[in-house]
């Protein structure tokens, strides 16, 4: 799958966002080695801490379909922002654990701007399982 196609898939997911409070819709798409795409969109709740981000929804969707970290190759995130959208801290932590270090992460906006990142550049010095064994 081309990078642009993965961004389009994230845009499709964005249309399913449930954002009645913030009106800030975010979409994400995860691409697998066997050419599957899993969507995620942000889902808000009146009790804000119970809301869920698009990035985590997309990753959890892939995992719930039996995919593992090593099966994933691409993640695209899109929102209506001035610059390419940036994942929140919680999503960066989840991405650092559930997405492969060599995977491609595309941050995009609706104007066509895209930044390509990897896990390390999103969250250097991430807390991981090695920190639990010290």
**Cα atoms in the Cβ-side hemisphere of radius 13 Å centred on 91:** 24
Give 113's contacts (C-beta < 8 A, 6+ positions apart): 83, 84
* 55 in catalytic set: yes
The rounded distance, in Å, linking the Cα atoms of 58 and 52 is 10
CATH number for the domain formed by residue range(s) 3-132:
3.40.140.10
Q: What angle do CA 103, 104, 110 make, to 5 degrees?
A: 150
Q: What is the pTM of this model?
A: 0.94
Query: What ranges do the domains of the chain cover?
Result: 3-132
* Given the residues 9, 15, 44, 55, the one annotated as active site: 55
DSSP state of 49: G
- Tens-digit pLDDT profile for the chain (134 aa)? 899 999 999 999 999 999 999 999 999 999 999 999 999 999 999 999 999 999 999 999 999 999 999 999 999 999 999 999 999 999 999 999 999 999 999 999 999 999 999 999 999 988 888 888 76
Could you tell me the two tokens for 95? 């991405």
Could you tell me the two tokens for 110? 């609706």
CA–centroid distance for 131 within its chain: 24
């Amino acid at each position: 799958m081309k990078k642009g196609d993965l961004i389009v898939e994230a845009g499709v997911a964005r249309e399913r966002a449930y954002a009645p409070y913030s009106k800030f819709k975010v979409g994400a798409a995860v691409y697998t080695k066997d050419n599957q795409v899993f969507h995620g969109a942000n889902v808000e709740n009146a009790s804000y801490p119970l809301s869920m981000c698009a990035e985590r929804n997309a990753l959890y969707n892939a995992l719930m379909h039996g995919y593992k970290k090593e099966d994933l190759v691409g993640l695209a995130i899109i929102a209506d922002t001035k610059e390419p959208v940036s994942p929140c801290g919680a999503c960066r932590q989840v991405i650092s654990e559930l997405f492969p270090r060599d995977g491609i992460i595309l941050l995009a906006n609706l104007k066509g701007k895209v930044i390509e990142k990897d896990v390390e550049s999103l969250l250097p010095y991430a807390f991981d399982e090695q920190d639990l064994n010290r």
